[in-house]
Structure 1
């Protein structure tokens, strides 16, 4: 899915940092970098989503998580664009690259 970052040209014309869902699993977007914070959305399996910053993906330590039963776990989170705001996805549950 080609998406444009807020304030940029039309979708598909930009090269931007993004997260990609991993191993066929959707990933929840949280209000804060913890699983106990509000779920504000979900990135569908086999999809990508722009990071909040256009030059790279910002990560930070947050609450612990497990991606899925028997899957990866960790406590690093990635900041993603979500409408006019931003949210957080668990870093071990996505792959980071350029879209």
Structure 2
């Protein structure tokens, strides 16, 4: 898997630390983490792209019944990009969500995932 690396200015460590350490009082059991995430649904995997466009390189995939952290722990950043259809007969749209894994990030089609907290 290839991902775009976040600039190595110490910001990446701070972002990852805040992403994985954000705990909302009263919402999570002791010792668990709470962070913004995208979740696959309807039994479909979702491609992670280098940019918010279907013509951009596929840099990974979120397996069916799995989740990935959003780029920001406080919420999921979205932006307009190219149009897509999630799967044959499935939803379509043109908004994309920025996701992260460690020091790397990419984009997933917003209509193909559900946004929530993990």
TM-score, length basis structure 2: 0.73
User: Larger radius of gyration, structure 1 or 2?
Assistant: 2
- Cα displacement string for residues 68-88 of structure 1 (whole angstroms, at most 9, x for unaligned residues): 000000000000003412100
Structure 1 residues 92 and 6 mapped into 2: Cα distance closer, same or farther (>3 Å)? farther
TM-score, length basis structure 1: 0.86
The structure richer in helix per residue is 2
Structure 1 residues 52 and 80 mapped into 2: Cα distance closer, same or farther (>3 Å)? same
Root-mean-square deviation over aligned CA pairs = 4.7
Question: Distance in 2 between the 1:70 and 1:10 partners?
Answer: 39
Count how many residue pairs are aligned between Structure 1 and Structure 2. 99
- Cα displacement string for residues 20-67 of structure 1 (whole angstroms, at most 9, x for unaligned residues): 001110000000000000000000000011001010000000000000
